């Protein structure tokens, strides 16, 4: 069952120096209870994709094309006020920076209850009870007493748990987590990922996880979308990314993982991807990875390859996909 259907999403920013093509034609679907990882390096557009779904990109100088459907309903037709009712209720966001994402002036119990009461008609008592329930759900011990804590009294990991509690307070169908573990210690990361897994299992929440950490992907994701220069270049199951990486860029990313090199006997040198990410100011009809690609041929710069199935549930945008270093 599809919960979210993003098709031909384009996001452009108008700046004084011209247009920035941040997202160029991105399509994907998200099933109920599915965890989709959006993976790519800084600037590839993964956060922009995620933030454009609940329309959180700010108002000025942004052009969003394509459509975002939530259970079949087109979100782009909603006005700002209707969108406010969707945010936090149907689609929630967990941000990267837990240290600054909570209101320092109120207790966490107050902030959780606020979101609940914003979207649901609940009494103060009921909202408070629900807040305790939520804190327990995200693994905060002694939840009833913690309600009265101010954000500055909690550690980063605790605050991220509170952020997640707020995000899931109204049982959203889609949870967007923008690098939720990047600012946290590795030990805390595992705990946070556990919460996401539990949410998926108990509430059936669909999750879009933005990350550049392939370890996180291996740990929790069902499907992966690898992004490069504003496009999805490979879309497949989490297993396939590691066992059958087909796009040269995906293969490059994996080749740069130290842990993988160790697993393969520890004798392999880490590989790098030569060259640089193209500037986002143009959108030429060619494979934008071609200048850095070991397999590039003349064909690659004549027409842009579209996403095509190479195996079941495995799409790649490349004329020369497949394992191995040369075509």
User: Which residues bind to another protein, rule: CB under 8 A?
Assistant: 54, 56, 84-89, 92-93, 95, 97, 100-107, 109, 114-115, 118-119, 145, 147-150, 153, 163, 166-167
**DSSP letter (8 states) at residue 60:** T
Tell me the two tokens of residue 319.
């004329």
Q: How far is the CB of 160 from another protein (least distance, A)?
A: 12
Q: How far is the CB of 62 from another protein (least distance, A)?
A: 15
16 CB-near residues (< 8 Å, 6+ apart): none
Q: Which is nearer to another protein, 7 or 155 (CB)?
A: 155
Q: How far is the CB of 150 from another protein (least distance, A)?
A: 6
Q: Which is nearer to another protein, 91 or 193 (CB)?
A: 91
Which H helix or E strand runs over 131?
helix 124-137
Q: Which is nearer to another protein, 131 or 307 (CB)?
A: 131
Q: Which is nearer to another protein, 150 or 242 (CB)?
A: 150
Task: Tell me the C-alpha to C-alpha distance, in Å, between residue 264 and each of 253, 254, 258.
Answer: 15, 12, 10
Tell me the two tokens of residue 239.
């297993």
- Bridge partners of 316, per DSSP, are 234, 308
Q: DSSP characters for 286-299?
A: S-TTGGG-TT--GG
Q: Which is nearer to another protein, 81 or 267 (CB)?
A: 81
Collapsed DSSP state (helix, strand, coil) of residue 157: helix
Which H helix or E strand runs over 175?
strand 174-178
Q: Which is nearer to another protein, 48 or 246 (CB)?
A: 48
Task: Give the Cα separation of 51 and 24 in Å (integer).
Answer: 15
Task: Tell me the C-alpha to C-alpha distance, in Å, between residue 197 and each of 3, 135, 202.
Answer: 18, 16, 9
Q: Which is nearer to another protein, 115 or 290 (CB)?
A: 115
Q: How far is the CB of 86 from another protein (least distance, A)?
A: 7
Q: Strand order of the sheet with strand 2-15?
A: 18-31, 2-15, 62-70, 73-74
Q: How far is the CB of 58 from another protein (least distance, A)?
A: 10
Task: Give the Cα separation of 202 and 97 in Å (integer).
Answer: 26
Q: How far is the CB of 89 from another protein (least distance, A)?
A: 6
Q: How far is the CB of 83 from another protein (least distance, A)?
A: 8
């Amino acid at each position: 069952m599809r919960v979210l259907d993003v098709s031909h999403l384009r996001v452009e920013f108008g700046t004084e120096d011209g247009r920035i093509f941040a997202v160029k034609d991105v399509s994907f679907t998200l099933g109920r209870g599915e965890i989709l990882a959006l993976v790519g390096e800084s600037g590839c557009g993964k956060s922009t994709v995620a933030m454009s779904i609940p329309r959180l990109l700010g108002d000025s100088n942004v052009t969003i094309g394509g459509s975002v459907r939530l259970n079949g309903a087109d979100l782009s037709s909603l006005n700002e006020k209707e969108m406010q009712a969707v945010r936090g209720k149907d689609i929630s966001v967990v941000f990267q920076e837990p240290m600054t994402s909570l209101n320092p002036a109120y207790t966490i119990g107050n902030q959780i209850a606020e979101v609940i009461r914003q979207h649901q008609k609940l009494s103060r008592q009921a909202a408070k009870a629900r807040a305790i329930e939520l804190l327990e759900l995200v693994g905060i011990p002694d939840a009833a007493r913690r309600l009265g804590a101010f954000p500055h009294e909690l550690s980063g990991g605790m605050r991220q748990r509170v952020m997640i509690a707020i995000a899931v307070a109204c049982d959203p169908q889609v949870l967007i987590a923008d690098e939720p573990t990047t600012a946290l210690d590795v030990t805390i990361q595992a705990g946070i990922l556990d919460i996401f897994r539990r949410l998926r299992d108990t509430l059936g929440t669909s999750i879009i996880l933005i990350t550049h950490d392939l370890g996180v992907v291996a740990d929790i994701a069902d499907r992966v979308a690898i992004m490069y220069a504003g496009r999805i270049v490979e879309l497949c199951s989490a297993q396939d990314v590691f066992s059958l990486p087909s796009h040269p860029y995906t293969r490059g990313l994996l080749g740069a993982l130290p842990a993988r090199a160790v697993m393969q006997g520890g004798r392999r040198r880490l590989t790098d991807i030569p060259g640089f990410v193209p500037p986002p100011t143009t959108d030429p009809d060619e494979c934008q990875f071609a200048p850095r690609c070991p397999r590039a041929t003349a064909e690659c710069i004549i027409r842009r390859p579209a996403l095509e199935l190479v195996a079941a549930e495995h799409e790649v945008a490349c004329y020369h996909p497949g394992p191995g270093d040369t075509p």
